[in-house]
């Protein structure tokens, strides 16, 4: 009996902690989230004005498709 009560209490404490942390995060960045959902990014942007182009040193590999005969053999 006591184990069920302690399990329920620990679940409720954990749930309360998650709600408090979520509210703190939303209070801190809620305005930015709302502006992003509206599509209004304003002057602040997390991306730089010009992104450098990244070149891969590996050649691009093409994907080969399996023929029906090979699929049937598998």
What whole-number distance in Å separates Cα of residue 16 and Cα of residue 23?
Answer: 11
pLDDT in tens, 18-57: 999 999 988 888 888 888 888 876 655 555 555 556 666 6
Residue that has been written with the tokens 């902690």 in this structure: 17
Tokens of 63: 């994907």
Where do we find the tokens 């509210």? 23
Q: Given CA atoms 19, 25, 31, 32 in this order, what sign does their dihedral have?
A: negative
pLDDT of amino acid 10:
96
pLDDT per position as a tens digit, 48-71: 555 556 666 666 667 667 677 766
- Distance from the Cα of residue 41 to its chain's centroid: 20
């Amino acid at each position: 009996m006591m184990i069920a009560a302690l399990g329920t209490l620990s679940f409720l404490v954990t749930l309360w902690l998650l709600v408090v942390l979520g509210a703190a995060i939303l209070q801190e960045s809620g305005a930015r989230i709302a502006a992003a959902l509206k599509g209004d990014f304003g002057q602040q942007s997390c991306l730089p004005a010009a992104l450098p182009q990244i070149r891969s040193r590996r050649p691009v590999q093409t994907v080969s498709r399996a023929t029906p005969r090979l699929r049937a053999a598998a």
